[in-house]
Chains A and B, each alone.
Chain A
Amino acid sequence: MSHGEMPKLKPRSFEYIRAESLEDVFQVLDEQGDEAKIIAGGQSLMAAMNMRFAAPETLVDVADIIEMRGIHLNGDMLRIGAMSRHSEVLASEDVATHAPIIFQAMPQIAHPAIRNRGTFGGSLCNADPASELPACALAAQAIFNIQSSVGSRSVAAVDFLEGTYATCLKANEVLISVDVPIATANTRTFFDEVARRHGDFAMAGIAAQAEISGGVIGQASLVYFAVSEMALRSDAASAMIEGQRIDDLDVEAVCDALAIDIHPFEDLTTSGEAKMHLLKVLTRRALAALTDGQG
């Protein structure tokens, strides 16, 4: 191809609107519904459009929406704007201090050049079953703040995530920010995943958070991702550690309990059995790390 000649372009044609305000965004969504798609960092959407898995009529760019920016403390919550870039979240001292599970997960998310563009809210709205942040949101019991032209609502992570690439967002709604309950002195967190190359999609992963004091585990969540249709808290395994004394913890029984409510899918590279094996390995690592020095 000589200079100046146009290449064959991968995405289907679309209209591009750079919204200047939330009202601009709502107007497009109200008029076009499912035909319009919000673009934040675009690090998943553009790849999907280049492969024509996604072919929206209109792209609404929310890069300039001030209400969706910023990371700040709001009472006992850390509010993370949906347009916060992964690199901003990773560099935030507030995130490191008050939302340690997210801080621990951040370096595992893709690669630096992707983290410079990809956004916190975009990753959550994309709801890829192999992505890290939905699992963190479940483990930390985050609250999702959603707005449309007719009002706003806040939903728990467990209600926001509905399935593979599926959330509770309606076609006219926008995720504005996410509130993460701030960690206490008793909060212990652990995040880990197994991937074939650093930054690649995980084969299996865990986000674990527990309140531990006086050698006893209080509220706890063991959340698993990249193994089924969406990130899932194992209620069975979590229940087996809640209320337990650390000294009495039966790690293998917790691992065996995973089979009650986690049923790993086979994917292109990894069998369901192999994924279950990895989940148990990750669970042992998590319990060792959560309880280290707490007995």
Chain B
Amino acid sequence: MTQQTAVTLNVNGEAISALIEPRLSLADFLRTKAGLTGTHVGCEHGVCGACTVRIDGATARGCLILAIQCQGADIETIEGVADSGSISDLQENFVERNALQCGFCTPGMLLTADELLKENPDPTRDEIRENLSGNYCRCTGYQSIVDAVEITAKQRREGA
């Protein structure tokens, strides 16, 4: 076993410390050290988007960054944003529109879509598709996902 290093990451507002190997990815850290298995591990080379999390407020691939690179960083996972209620409208619209079936891609889809809606409150369907193009879904055919994001954008604009 390689030498282990102590790290502390702020995960969903809670400091999580662990001894880790430098080669442990952030996604594996979250799943095995923080017990947060909502961050899914798919392709592990940056293509599928299932491991998407927020690092210091911006989305990133959990498989393409080492936990040790995130020493002291603020990490938000799907569990964190779900518990805070900050994306509950988006989650409800995903259910309403059947924008998920197996659910493997859904945490990444939600975090990616939420970032788009913060930067662009009135995206076109093409812009939604372009923004979600880094997240694979093998069930839905995407139409319903675009619907859910579009409806959420409209509701947020009307509510604001």
Contacts and interface: CB of A to CB of B under 8 A. Distances in A.
B61 A43 contact: yes
Contacts of B77: none
Interface string A34-60: 000001001100110111000000010
A90 to B, nearest CB: 11
B52 A61 contact: no
Nearest to B52: A113
A59 B59 contact: no
B17 interface: no
A44 B71 CA distance: 21
B128 to A, nearest CB: 12
Interface size class of B (residues with CB under 8 A): 35 or more
Contacts of A59: 22
Nearest to A6: B32
Nearest to B24: A9
Most central of B21, B32, B64 by chain A CB within 10 Å: B64
A15 interface: yes
A13 B28 CA distance: 15
A12 B134 contact: no
Given A9-B28, A43-B64, A113 B59 contact: yes
Given A112-B112, A112-B116, A198-B133, A47 B64 contact: yes
A105 B115 CA distance: 21
B65 A7 contact: no
B2 interface: yes
B60 interface: yes
Nearest to A12: B23
Nearest to B22: A16
A7 B32 contact: yes
Chain A interface helix/strand/loop/mixed: loop
A110 B134 contact: yes
B134 A114 contact: yes
Most central of A47, A87, A111, A197 by chain B CB within 10 Å: A111
A3 interface: yes
Contact of B23 (A14, A42, A107): A14
B114 to A, nearest CB: 11
Given A11-B23, A13-B2, A46-B63, A61 B44 contact: no
A113 B134 contact: yes
Chain B interface helix/strand/loop/mixed: mixed
Nearest to A8: B28
Nearest to A117: B60
Interface string A255-291: 0000000000000000000000000000000000000
Interface size class of A (residues with CB under 8 A): 35 or more
A42 B64 contact: yes
B137 interface: no
Nearest to A116: B58
B69 A14 contact: no
Contacts of A18: 68-69, 71
Contact of B112 (A1, A9, A16, A113): A113
B154 interface: no
Nearest to A9: B23
A87 B58 contact: yes
A16 B64 contact: no
Contacts of B13: none
B20 to A, nearest CB: 9
Contact of A199 (B21, B58, B133): B133
B46 A43 contact: yes
A112 B115 contact: yes
A10 interface: yes
Interface of B: 2-3, 5, 21-25, 28, 31-32, 35, 37, 44-46, 49, 52, 55, 58-61, 63-66, 68-69, 71, 112, 115-116, 129-131, 133-135
25 contacts: A3-B32, A9-B21, A9-B25, A13-B21, A13-B23, A14-B23, A18-B68, A18-B69, A46-B46, A46-B64, A47-B46, A63-B69, A111-B135, A112-B59, A112-B112, A112-B115, A113-B52, A113-B59, A113-B112, A116-B55, A117-B60, A117-B64, A117-B65, A198-B129, A198-B130
Q: Give 4 nearest A-B pairs by CB, closest first.
A: A111-B134, A16-B22, A47-B45, A198-B133
